[in-house]
Structure 1
Amino acid sequence: MDLLRLQQLLRGQGESINGCDLSVEDAIDFVQSNFSECSYCLVRDWTLLELAPCGEGHDALRSRGLEPVLVYARNVVLDSRARFNPGDWVRSTFQLRYEDQGLFFTRNTLYVLLGAGTRQRITLSDLLSLS
């Protein structure tokens, strides 16, 4: 990843989009009431990373019911399974589905995207450098 791309990612530059407008407490109540079967992770300072077309990779993801989109968040607020500490950064696995109120589902976790965030395109090589 070149320095400019890394800087854009870390600063959350990109197309602005809205996430969940609930307080942390209300977001927890909402998730526990409506998605009690899900592990969840509340995050701030987030970016939806859309993987640039890379040929067969997109087809392989979609054949498994996934979209080539991930969440990169610079601030974990709360992780229901304590995999991440508050203030940690996190990169999700690929998107299973997205709901307009800032709910990003992967196969294992519901990410609640608190507040405003951004959307950026990322190449496969840039994505691999975030590991």
Structure 2
Amino acid sequence: MNLARLAQLVDGHGEPVNGCDLPPDDAQALAHTRFPNLSTCLVRDWTILDLETTSDEMEALRDRGLEPVMVYALNVVFDSRGRFNAGDWVRSSFQLSFEDNGFFLTKNTLYVLLGKGARQRITVSDLISLQ
């Protein structure tokens, strides 16, 4: 990945997307009420990444109930399982579902996307560069 492409990914370029407008404590309480059995991770400075896939890759993901979509966030606010510290960056696993109020669900975690973010397409090689 070249530096210009990396800058686009981490600087929030892409289609603007609204996330959860609640303060973090209220967002955490709502997440726990709606999804009591899931770990939650509240994040800021996030981008939804639509992974460019082949039809075979797409089919393999969808057979597992997943979409080729991930979240990349530069700022973890809170992680209920303590996997990440405040201020860490995180990249989610593949999307199970996404709700307009900023709730991005994977098989193991509900990511609460706080504030405004972006959405953009990403290649597999770009994705690998984010590790």
Give the structure 2 partner of residue 125 of structure 1. 125
Residue 54 of structure 1: how far off its partner (Å): 2.5
Give the structure 1 partner of residue 95 of structure 2. 95
Matches of 2:57 and 2:68 in 1, distance apart?
9
Mapped pair 1:76 → 2:76 = yes
SS at match of 2:82: coil
Of 31-40 and 108-117, deviating more is 31-40
SS at match of 1:78: strand
Matches of 1:130 and 1:83 in 2, distance apart?
18
The answer to whether the 8 Å contact 1:48/1:120 transfers is yes
SS at match of 1:56: helix
Residue 33 of structure 1: how far off its partner (Å): 1.6
After superposition, the C-alpha distances for 1:71-124 in whole angstroms (9 at most, x for unaligned) are: 000000000000000000000000000111000000000000000000010001
Identical residues among aligned pairs (%): 62
Give the structure 2 partner of residue 19 of structure 1. 19
* TM-score normalised according to structure 2 size: 0.97
Q: Output the amino acid matched with 1:12.
A: G
After superposition, the C-alpha distances for 1:45-75 in whole angstroms (9 at most, x for unaligned) are: 0000000132311111111100000000000
Q: CA RMSD in A?
A: 0.8
Q: How many residues align?
A: 131
* TM-score normalised according to structure 1 size: 0.97
Matches of 1:54 and 1:72 in 2, distance apart?
21
Give the structure 1 partner of residue 108 of structure 2. 108
SS at match of 1:76: strand
Of 53-62 and 66-75, deviating more is 53-62
Give the structure 1 partner of residue 65 of structure 2. 65
The answer to whether the 8 Å contact 1:98/1:105 transfers is yes
Instruction: Give the ranges of 4+ consecutive aligned residues of structure 1 lying more than 2 Å apart after TM superposition.
Output: none
Consecutive unaligned residues of structure 2, counting only runs of 5 or more, are none
Give the structure 1 partner of residue 3 of structure 2. 3
